[in-house]
């Protein structure tokens, strides 16, 4: 799997079926910074490995706490967020780090 500059990857506990994926896709695609031209309304979900890729509109600010809250409100647990930062390095943010920001 490749992480591009305009994507974030989320590891999510409890995301195990296609019905789960449809509901979560609807919730995450409603975020204002999601590029709905890629994937299905800007969101790719893999229930086998319990991860989500969100395509981000170039130049928009990502609200990580909003993502976490939407996932929690939908009944799932966000484990880790991966995103590419300047210089091409991949940064991961755990739920504990996110809550302590």
Share above pLDDT 70 across residues of the chain, in percent, rounded to a whole number: 77
**Token reading at 75:** 């009944």
Task: Answer whether residue 22 shows pLDDT above 60.
Answer: yes
pLDDT of residue 54: 92
CATH number, residue 35: 3.30.70.100
User: Is the residue at 77 inside a domain?
Assistant: yes
Nearest to 78 by CA among 60, 99, 48, 55: 99
- Domain count of the chain? 1
User: Is the residue at 46 inside a domain?
Assistant: yes
Task: Answer whether residue 65 shows pLDDT above 90.
Answer: no
Which range among 13-22, 31-40, 47-56 shows the weakest confidence by mean pLDDT? 13-22
User: Is the residue at 1 inside a domain?
Assistant: no
Provide the domain limits for residue 67: 7-95
Condensed to tens digits (0 to 9), the pLDDT of residues 42-62 reads 999 988 888 999 998 888 888
**Distance (Å, rounded) from C-alpha 4 to C-alpha 31?**
19
User: Is the residue at 19 inside a domain?
Assistant: yes
User: Which range, 16-20, 60-64, 72-76, 92-96, has the best average confidence (pLDDT)?
Assistant: 72-76
Other Cβ atoms less than 10 A from the Cβ of 96: the count is 7
Task: State which H helix or E strand residue 69 sits in.
Answer: helix 64-73
Between 65 and 100, the more confident residue is 65
């Amino acid at each position: 799997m490749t992480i591009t500059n305009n994507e974030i990857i989320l590891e999510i506990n409890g995301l195990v079926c296609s019905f789960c994926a449809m509901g979560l896709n609807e919730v995450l695609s409603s975020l204002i910074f999601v590029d709905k031209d890629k994937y299905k309304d800007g969101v790719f979900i893999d229930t086998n490995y319990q991860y989500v890729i969100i395509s981000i509109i170039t130049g928009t600010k990502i609200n990580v706490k909003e993502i976490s809250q939407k996932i929690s409100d939908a009944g799932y647990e966000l484990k880790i967020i991966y995103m590419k930062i300047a210089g091409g390095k991949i940064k991961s943010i755990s739920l504990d780090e996110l809550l302590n920001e």
